[in-house]
Amino acid sequence: MPEKQKMAQKKILVIDDDQFLLDIIKRKLVEAGFAVNSCLEAEKAFDILRNDHPDIILLDLILPGMDGFEFMRIKNNDPRLADIPVIVISNLGQQSDIDHAMELGAKDYIIKANYTPSEFINKINEVANKEKLKIPKP
């Protein structure tokens, strides 16, 4: 890939404890032209975020150790990270969970069972358009 295109790639951090689903999402995002970093735990995400500033974070809520809600609270209190849009990807479908995530600043909420990995790309593009990010079209 030419250097100019690499620089233009948008970066996504995916945080999900399901390795199988994580691999599928990563593959689809890479195929769509994104630079993807991923991890299985929220704590490890903060290690990644010390060195990288993704354009969007895809975040599961049920994670080992720190859950996604706590991750968002901590991220939002860090001035270097607060501006990174978060799209929640979860199997929690209760309205109270959705409301809580949105109150914590999630830009969108995807119930995993209701979307294919390809549809995640469309949701990412919707959020990117709202946030005025330039994201490649799938």
Read off the pLDDT of residues 33-51 as tens digits, 9 standing for 90 and up.
Answer: 889 999 999 999 999 999 9
Could you list the residue range(s) of the whole structural domain that residue 122 is in?
12-130
- pTM comes to 0.87
User: What pLDDT, in 10s, does the model give residues 60-112?
Assistant: 999 999 999 999 999 999 999 999 999 999 998 899 999 999 999 999 999 98
Q: Looking at the domain assignment, is residue 59 inside a domain? A: yes
Q: Looking at the domain assignment, is residue 84 inside a domain? A: yes
Report the alpha-carbon distance of residue 84 to residue 78 in Å, rounded.
Answer: 11
- Helix/strand/coil for 56: strand
Number of domains in the chain: 1
Q: Looking at the domain assignment, is residue 69 inside a domain? A: yes
Q: Looking at the domain assignment, is residue 2 inside a domain? A: no
CATH number of residue 31's parent domain: 3.40.50.2300
